[in-house]
Amino acid sequence: MNAIKKIKENILIVIVVISLILIVTIKFSPLSSIHTSQVPLISWFSYGSQLGETIYNLSYGYLISWFFYLMVVRIPELKSEKKALIVFDNSIDKIIGIMSITNNYFWIKHEINNLMDDASVSFEVEKRIKKFTNHEMNFYFQVVKGDSDKSLHYTGYYTESKFLMAQYHVIKETIENMYQTPIFNLLNSELIFTLSEINNCLLFRFLKKAEINDLNFEKIEESSEIGSALLEYYRLYKKLSELKVPNEEYTFDQQDVDCWWIIDLKKGKFRFLSREQ
């Protein structure tokens, strides 16, 4: 749907450019004073001035129509999208943050360089990640706001399975709550579509199935589908980050520290601990 809309908008712009060229050529260029009888190849055509006038009027009319489209439809639409994005700013930031933690955890754990080309990343992920475990993650990450506000966080008691299940519930609940807000449909159509893709992604379908069947992650057999699900999740994260630049920056340098914030996704809270505790 969004691809079709982009194609239509690009076609409109191309027609605008062509219309401008025709208007300038017919009315304001040296060619406007040349009669068709003076041009050897079309000297037989005696209605050049009438045709030129018709094309000029059509081009001029299209430009006026396009101008009114901008003023009445497109500009108000962009303003509405901007207002809606402000309302959902924190919700989308939360989704981007949680997704970035998951992606970077698995990439760092399995020594996958996400700066490689797409084909290489796909190969490495599907080759190396075939199973989730119940081992504690022991993963640090930093949240940066502005130039100086930086806080260090730690996944705390979370195992891979607990963290994945917790983020599944938090992200789905966040998106479902957004769906129920009347102005949700005012968001950019590509952003709406991407959130819908995240809500129904392979990883979440896998986690839903595991929850319904009360599956033990340790007993689930190795499968390349795990890597495929994480790869799709990573691509959706990148797509969402491009559509909405997050207010917070997450960094993932793993290091020994004296204190940290333990995250609890379900409660949406952080608990401060020191190394002594």
The answer to whether 231 touches 110, Cβ cutoff 8 Å, is: no
- Residue 12 makes CB contacts below 8 A (sequence gap 6+) with 66, 69
For residue 61, the one-letter residue type is: G
Domain boundaries, the chain: 2-85, 88-274
What is residue 195's predicted lDDT score, i.e. its pLDDT? 94
- pLDDT tens-digit series, residues 149-185: 666 677 777 888 888 888 899 999 999 999 999 899 8
Q: What is the mean pLDDT of residues 71-93?
A: 88
What average pLDDT does the segment 110-114 reach? 81
Ramachandran region of residue 195, left (φ > 0), alpha (ψ -120 to 50) or beta? alpha
| CB neighbour list of residue 63: distance below 8 Å, 6 or more residues apart | 16, 19, 20, 23
User: What pLDDT shows up at residue 233?
Assistant: 94
Mean pLDDT of 2-23: 82
CB 35 within 8 A of CB 52: no
pLDDT beyond 60 at 273: no
pLDDT digits (tens, 9 = 90+) for 139-149: 877 777 665 56
Q: What is the mean predicted confidence (pLDDT) over 232-245?
A: 91
Q: Return the SS3 of 91.
A: helix
Residue 58, CB-side half-sphere exposure with 13 Å CA sphere: 10
What is the predicted pLDDT for the residue at 222?
67
Q: Which uninterrupted H or E stretch holds 140?
A: strand 140-145
State the average pLDDT over residues 236-260: 76
Distance CA 30, CA 5 (A): 38
Confidence class of residue 41 from pLDDT cuts 50, 70 and 90?
low
Residue, of 184 and 1, whose pLDDT is higher: 184
Mean pLDDT across the chain: 79
3-state class (DSSP) for residue 200:
coil
User: How far is the C-alpha of 27 from the C-alpha of 258, rounded, in Å?
Assistant: 76
Q: What percent of the chain has pLDDT over 70?
A: 75
Residue 132: both structure tokens together? 């989730």
Look at residue 176 in the predicted model and tell me its pLDDT. Answer: 93
